[in-house]
Chains A and B, each alone.
Chain A
Amino acid sequence: MLKLHYNLEKISMGLVAAIIVAASIGGLVEIAPLFTLDETVELPGDLRPNTPLELAGREIYMREGCYACHSQMVRSLADELDRYGPYSLASESAYDHPMLWGSKRTGPDLARLGGKYSDDWHVAHLIDPRSVVPASIMPSYPWLTRPLDTALLPDALATLARLGVPYDKEMIAAAEADALAQSRPGTEAADGFQARYGARPAVQAFDGDPSRLTELDALIAYLQSLGTLTDAPYRALAEGAP
């Protein structure tokens, strides 16, 4: 062996090849099967993709680095089930490019956040967390009251559609209008939005002011959608699946 290595050290391309081989095996074994196993590719029938407004909110969530303090992955441990809710399934984030599971909980997990608080609470909390939770160390985000830029949404939906997220042509074409419509309940546009996305996504004046479409609207729409894209985790828990 030693002799063999002694010779290998004299051939740079030999070293290069050996390094590539040694460093490829593990990744191949662990990653490739994930594209074929039922456990990781099967999707629940009721899984819906994010609406354009939620998607815009997701971009803001990433832009502001919320993921650096908040996870979106409830582990299958008793205390996490009690604190947050059913543990997360792989299928829940199947449409998430990229996933936002996170690695640090400076703040609580948000995977089951949807519906936990009112929109007003979120508005107050995002603008000044310490006005609602005095001991909070979360940053304030007063600038989120600025208007939402929706110009990229159609292209964003089209790009995701190319990656396999089920947005159809109509959804892509109407993306900007739908973002606006979701924050204006009771309008005709809102009906059009619901015709495309069904009755499940909430149509609300998320930031409390239906006359303006703001970044807060988008972010809160996203936060309220967390954990509500499918009921599969609740079913899995009820069935006592492993």
Chain B
Amino acid sequence: MTATLTLPERRIGLFLSVLLALMGLFMAAAARHGVMSLHGFMALGLGLGLVFLIGGSLYDPAPPHRRPDRYYDAPTRFGLTLTLVWAIIGMGVGVWVAALLYWPEATPPWPATSFGRLRPVHTTGIIFGFGGNALIATSFHVLQRTSRARLADSISPWVVVLGYNLFCAWAVTGYLMGSTQSKEYAEAEWYADLWLVVIWVTYFTLYLRTLARRNEPHIYVANWYYLAFILVVAMLHIVNNLALPVRLTTAESFPVWSGVQDAMVQWWYGHNAVAFFLTAGFLGMLYYFLPVRSGRPIWSYRLSIVSFWGITFFYIWVGSHHLHYTALPYWAQTLGMTFSVMLLVPSWASAGNAIATLNGAWHKVRDDATLRFMFVAAVFYGLSTFEGSFLAIRPVNSLSHYTDWTVGHVHSGTLGWVAMIIFGAIYTLVPQLGGKRQMASPRAIEWHFWLAVTGTLIYVIAMWNAGITQGLMWRAYDRNGALSYSFVQSVQAMAPYYLLRTIGGALFLTGAVLCAWNCRATLRGAREGAADRPLVPQPAE
């Protein structure tokens, strides 16, 4: 990390690390005990670690080449490593919570390892740890290539990556210790939320400053998506997390929203976390890596404009489809339903655009597992958005809501689309970052591909069956007009599906472990900065 920084940059880095350590010390001292003090110590530890790292190499030789005309890929490489670490943590815990639903005693009798605390570790670890790091790391790469410019400075990318991961680590350790706001996908406590705002502003300004230096008149479509991701996530995060701390020295806080307003704000956030975190950002990834890997330009420029604005405008309306038949006013539910159905148009336009891009390169899809990952991602994107629009229709939702059908939909989106496109991007990027022609083991990619596809199909099909069975059992009446099944009978009926899901998840996790091993083998021996290439045009432009 430090080898790629100049002396003045190292000094700034040192200064910021000291600040971080002081902030941590202050937090730990103010809170004195509990989660917040532990989190203070974590920040202190990170700060001190960085002080030693940078301080120890302050006067090492400066980076060799003339830097302004070279890309800066060291943060991308570091970010991808973290992506894989979080993938294994997040999916490992995913398999664990899946097992707990089949075998509730499969956990030590400690508070920290009970289902309710592990589940948000899975969702946060996987969405923000795995997904978020992948987005940040690839966005740096894509931004530079499509702008033909180096990142605006060499310090802020590190601030973003390290600060963001401190947030993720705070969040998941907090849940284990019982600290949570209980808002789905926004469980982290108030100071972590504030910290994330600081990091996010740094990220946004870095993005704009780099765009301002671009040597291309046009901002490439991938960047529109990354920009929408950064901007809208900031808006959602701030509004949904507005809270009053009980004391400034404790983690506990109360959200300012309550009741039905809170429900609407929460799902406005929740669904747009799906839209702008799990969709827009990854579409950015798709729009860059798919053309690069297949060697073909995006099929239709016009279609990409229509789908971008369609997605940005329509998605914001759909959050209320999480609240059908609840105490949310009827008109708001109807709006959510209507826009969800309309959303299918731009969603399929994007998926179609991606698949049509591969037209003429089908032989590559057949031979190249990396490209196949991206192809499958586009297909699952199409499938899960179709399913989503269908689930948003009120009568369908009356059956699916609260059941495992939702979980099946979630994972057809996250395993089939999000994780697959990430793996496709990783297998494209990592050899380049390691200065190699290809991944260390192409066969392992092939294995990973089939493990991932099989795992996803088992998971999703099991959950479809589970969800529909559950929904039908809950609403079944016998001839005398009494409910046919007790709730516990519906719980018992889930057992085989929960077991299958655990197996599917384990296959998927195995694939991810293979990927991590393969990346390590590819990057081993490559010098940091080996990939900081001269600014030359890239095929996607």
The reply to whether B258 and A139 form a contact with Cβ atoms under 8 Å apart is no
Out of A26, A71, A140, A162, which one reaches B317, CB within 8 Å? A26
Out of B268, B305, B491, which one reaches A2, CB within 8 Å? B305
Q: A65-B117, A138-B104, A163-B244 are in contact. Are A12 and B219 (CB under 8 A)?
A: yes
Q: A9 at interface (Cβ–Cβ under 8 A)?
A: yes
Interface residues of A in 59-80 (CB under 8 A from B): 59, 62-69, 71, 73, 75-79
Out of A24, A95, A103, A156, which one reaches B259, CB within 8 Å? A95
The reply to whether A139 and B327 form a contact with Cβ atoms under 8 Å apart is no
Q: A2-B302, A95-B259 are in contact. Are A100 and B182 (CB under 8 A)?
A: yes
Q: B370 at interface (Cβ–Cβ under 8 A)?
A: no
The reply to whether B335 and A69 form a contact with Cβ atoms under 8 Å apart is no
The reply to whether A30 and B319 form a contact with Cβ atoms under 8 Å apart is yes
The reply to whether B180 and A16 form a contact with Cβ atoms under 8 Å apart is no
Report how far A20 CA is from B379 CA in the complex, Å.
29
Report how far A65 CA is from B320 CA in the complex, Å.
23
Q: B474 at interface (Cβ–Cβ under 8 A)?
A: yes
Q: Which residues of A contact B180 (CB under 8 A)?
A: 62-63, 65
Q: A113 at interface (Cβ–Cβ under 8 A)?
A: no
Q: Which residues of A contact B115 (CB under 8 A)?
A: 65, 68-69, 139
Q: A23-B313, A31-B264 are in contact. Are A155 and B483 (CB under 8 A)?
A: no
Instruction: Produce 1/0 per residue, B384-417, CB < 8 A to A.
Output: 0000000000000010011100110000000000
Instruction: Produce 1/0 per residue, B296-318, CB < 8 A to A.
Output: 00000010010001001111111
Question: Across the two chains, which residue of chain B brings its CB closest to A35?
Answer: B261
The reply to whether B302 and A24 form a contact with Cβ atoms under 8 Å apart is no
How many of B's residues come within 8 Å of A, CB to CB? 96
- Least CB distance from B437 to A in Å reads 34
Report how far A20 CA is from B104 CA in the complex, Å.
45
Report how far A59 CA is from B398 CA in the complex, Å.
30
Q: B235 at interface (Cβ–Cβ under 8 A)?
A: yes
Question: Across the two chains, which residue of chain A brings its CB closest to B252?
Answer: A152
How many of A's residues come within 8 Å of B, CB to CB? 86
Interface residues of B in 179-218 (CB under 8 A from A): 179-184, 208, 211-212, 217-218
The reply to whether B325 and A75 form a contact with Cβ atoms under 8 Å apart is yes
Identify 20 new A-B residue pairs, CB closer than 8 A, beyond the known A77-B398, A90-B327, A137-B100: A12-B211, A27-B316, A29-B317, A30-B320, A30-B336, A39-B329, A65-B120, A65-B180, A67-B116, A75-B325, A77-B325, A79-B483, A97-B262, A98-B182, A99-B260, A99-B263, A101-B323, A103-B406, A143-B110, A156-B246
- Where the two chains meet, the residues of B that have a C-beta atom closer than 8 Å to any C-beta of A are 100-102, 104-105, 107, 109-111, 114-117, 119-120, 175, 178-184, 208, 211-212, 217-219, 224, 227-228, 231-232, 235, 239, 244-247, 250, 252-266, 268, 276, 302, 305, 309, 312-320, 322-329, 332, 335-336, 339, 398, 401-403, 406-407, 474-475, 477, 483, 487-488, 491-492
- Where the two chains meet, the residues of A that have a C-beta atom closer than 8 Å to any C-beta of B are 2, 5-6, 9-10, 12-13, 15-16, 19-20, 22-27, 29-31, 34-35, 37, 39-40, 59, 62-69, 71, 73, 75-79, 82-83, 87-108, 129-130, 133, 135-143, 152, 155-156, 159-160, 162-165
